[in-house]
Each structure stands twice: as C-alpha cells, then as structure tokens.
Structure 1
C-alpha cells in the first residue's frame, strides 16, 4: 500500500508559501481590505450514512490552509480553503469463523472550498458556510488479512469488494470559528451531497442476502481544529 502523507504535506507547504507571497493590504476610501492566510491542524470523525452497511465512525486527522479576504465594512468575510485528510471508518463484517467484527478502512481526501464567514461578533466569532469539491482515494483496508471477510447483511460480498468508491464528490460545509489575533478554534461539519458509493453500482457485485440491491451513501465528517492566521 502506497504512503501518500509526504505528498499531502508538500502540497500544504507549497500552498502556504504561495499564499503568503500574495498576502497584502489594500485601501479603498476610508476602509482597508486585508488579505491574509492561515494554516490549520485538526482531528476528524468520519462516517458514511448508508442503509447498505453497518458502519461506525472513527477518528482521523486533517491539515489545511486558507486565503482570506477580510472586509471590515461588510457583515461577512470570504476565504478559499484547501484541506487534506486521512479518514477512518469501521464497517461490520463476518470473519472466516462467521464471527461478527468491525473491519477498519482508511481514505485519503483533498477538499477545496469557497467559504463565507458571517460575522457574529465582528471577526472574532464567525458562522462559516460554503460549497466544497472533494477528490478522495479508495477505501483502503487497514488489515489486508480481513479482505475476504463477508460484510454484514450480505452472503458473498467481501470487504475488498467495496474498495473502489466514487472519487469525485460535492460537499457542503458549515461551522463556527472563534478566536483572537493570530489563533482561532474551528468546528466544522461536512456533508456529502453526492453518492460516495455510487461507483459500486457500475460493478457486477454480488448483493445476495441484502434488502438493498443498489449502493447509496453520503459522507459525514466532523472537524475540530486549531488555526494560525497571518
């Protein structure tokens, strides 16, 4: 299994460098528009909301960077955001002895977003909303010895059969950011509008035993992080 963490970190560092180069302040009449950037580290809790499988959310990590336009005379700010994450999810399956246990998967994802930050208390507390585009990896089994485990509710569908999920997805994000000066706390909820399991319907998978013959699922992600702004 390939390790992608160094590539993700390189993208983040590159974005931070480019953004810092273009950070600037512009004067418009009697007010000042200030451009800046931020970097973020966070913990995630990821799940897929579906009737096809019995899932359990699990923890992961996220790093991110943002370029922000602070408009003092408006009731909102805007920012461009990139987030890179490693997410984990547990799905119930039966082992070779027909005993039920959870199989752990992990999924790398890259997200870009245009966010509106509604000022609740000036720029110190904001309500954050916006659309998000996502590219994600396959669902990769953490333990390859579990690849032949049969998924709960199915007769023959195994853990390795559902790895190749949809890679391009559209999400929506809503959250709260609070802080002073250069440090802020952020809580964010990300919901997947598109069917992240949709690609499985293009495969000739054996769904015997299940009440649902089609695969449908929407990702659900909670993010809790700390942001440093410049």
Structure 2
C-alpha cells in the first residue's frame, strides 16, 4: 500500500470518531475537534548538512477525553506536509553559486497524550508519544544535477529516509471550551536517516557513513470542537 492510499484510508477510518465526540456534563466531556495550523520543521544532524528549516501546513482530528479530575487523554490523527531546504550547486559547474534545494515530505501522525488542566477548560498542558508514517524526502525535480554543499552526495541520495518514525511531544492549549489555540514541540527519538546508512550512503560519501538525524518541529494552530 503506497502512502497516498494509506492517507485516504486513514481519513475514512477517522470519520466514525465524529459520532462519539459529544458533551457529557459541565467540567467533563468527550469531544471531537478539527484542528489545522502550521509547522516549522527541521532535522538535527550529526554532520553539518546545510539545512534550513521550512514552514508548511498540518490538519487533522483530535479527541479530548476526561479521565480523572483535571487529567485528560488526547488522541488523534494529523496530516502533515513537512518542508526544508539544503544548499547545493550544479555538478557541471563547480564555480556556480550555491542555491537552496527544496525538500518536501508528506506524512500522517497518530498521537496519544496525557493532559492536565491548569485552568479548567481554558488552559492545559499535554505531552506524550507520536507515531509518524511518512513518504520519502522528495527533492526538487532536477536534483540529480546538484551536489549538497560540503559533501559529495546528491540530493536524491537523501530521499529514501526511514518511513516509520517515533516522536515525543509537549505542548500547551488555551482558549474557550469550543475553540482553542495550541502550540507544540516535537522531537524525533529515532534516527530518520538510518535507512540511508543501512543502504550504503557511506559508499557515496564517506563523511555520511554514520549520519544521524532527529526531527525537530514546532507546530501550532486552531482547534474547533464539534
């Protein structure tokens, strides 16, 4: 199953949750929300790859369930378009100036957070794990004609990253009972470049033989509860 089919199937499977998101009583609820926002994404690496962070969108479903007193569970599905750039130059002209090479990565995340209400329904903190499934790290269409600044690798050599990744997140949400703003920081626990090194990236550029990379992302936006 390719990533596009998986994303469509995931969206369909999310629809039944909409029927379960409903108000129970004051101070306690089980409610579905639709959320959307932006993300500021980069990868922290062991080698000084010339990476510049990028900004793109996120959107999905979230469910907030009361657990005990001021504690809640938050779980949901979010779709992401992650972007960044790397500096590179054309292979045929070693004197050509360096230019930004855009990379983009589509993905879906499933999260399960524990949350604590700091001020009733108006302000809360949450933290927990995120399971991320993503496609490859797509470079620009003519990327085969470029070389990464400071390395012998071609941008295409960095495309086939690990497809299954595990992140940890911490964030804040605040606002009214039906509309909230949220902000969150995510850090990738596993090495997103492990598949590249296992497949022999070091043979193409010895400096990248032991390359490691960890997702670092700030994301935030608006939640509207149904």
What TM-score does the superposition give when structure 1 sets the normalisation length? 0.86
Secondary structure of the 1:147 match is helix
SS in 1 for 2:169: strand
Contact 1:12-1:63 at 8 Å conserved across structures = no
| Alignment partner, residue 161 of structure 2 | 165
1:25–1:32 Cα contact (<8 Å) kept: no
* Partner residue in 1 for 2:84: 89
Cα displacement string for residues 16-41 of structure 1 (whole angstroms, at most 9, x for unaligned residues): x31121234568xxx87421100101
Q: Answer yes or no: is 1:152 the counterpart of 2:174.
A: no
Q: Does 1:186 align with 2:182?
A: yes
Instruction: Decide whether aligned partners of structure 1 residues 32 and 188 sit closer, same or farther in structure 2, where only a CA change above 3 A counts.
Output: closer
Moved more, 186-195 or 93-102: 93-102
2: CA distance, partners of 1:18 / 1:123: 25
Which residue of structure 1 aligns with residue 122 of structure 2? 124
Q: What number of residue pairs does the alignment pair up?
A: 220
Change (3 A) 1:49 1:10: same
Tell me: CA distance 1:10–1:225, structure 2 relative to 1, closer, same or farther (3 Å).
farther
Instruction: Give the direction of change, closer, same or farther, for the CA distance of 1:216–1:150 in structure 2 (3 Å limit).
Output: same
Secondary structure of the 2:145 match is coil
Cα distance in 2, alignment partners of residues 49 and 36 from structure 1? 36
- Structure 1: gaps (5+ residues): none
Structure 1 pair 147–134 and aligned structure 2 pair: CA distance change class (3 A):
same
1:203 maps to what in 2?
A: 199
Distance 1:9 1:183, change over 3 A: farther
| Distance (Å, rounded) in 2 between the aligned partners of 1:174 and 1:32 | 23
With over 3 angstroms needed to count, the CA separation of the structure-2 counterparts of 1:57 and 1:39, relative to structure 1, is same
C-alpha distance in 2 between matches for 1:26 and 1:175 = 25
Map Cα deviations across residues 89-137 of structure 1 (whole Å, 9 max, x no partner).
1112222323322211000111111111111111210111011111111
Equivalent position of 1:215 in the other structure: 211
Task: Tell me how far apart the structure 2 counterparts of residues 134 and 106 of structure 1 sit (CA, whole Å).
Answer: 15
* TM-score normalised over the length of structure 2: 0.88
Aligned to 1:110: 108
| Residue matched to 1:43 | 38
The answer to whether the 8 Å contact 1:54/1:92 transfers is yes
CA RMSD of aligned residues (A): 2.4
2:17 is paired with a residue whose SS is helix
Give the Cα–Cα distance (whole angstroms) in 2 for the partners of residues 225 and 24 of structure 1.
22
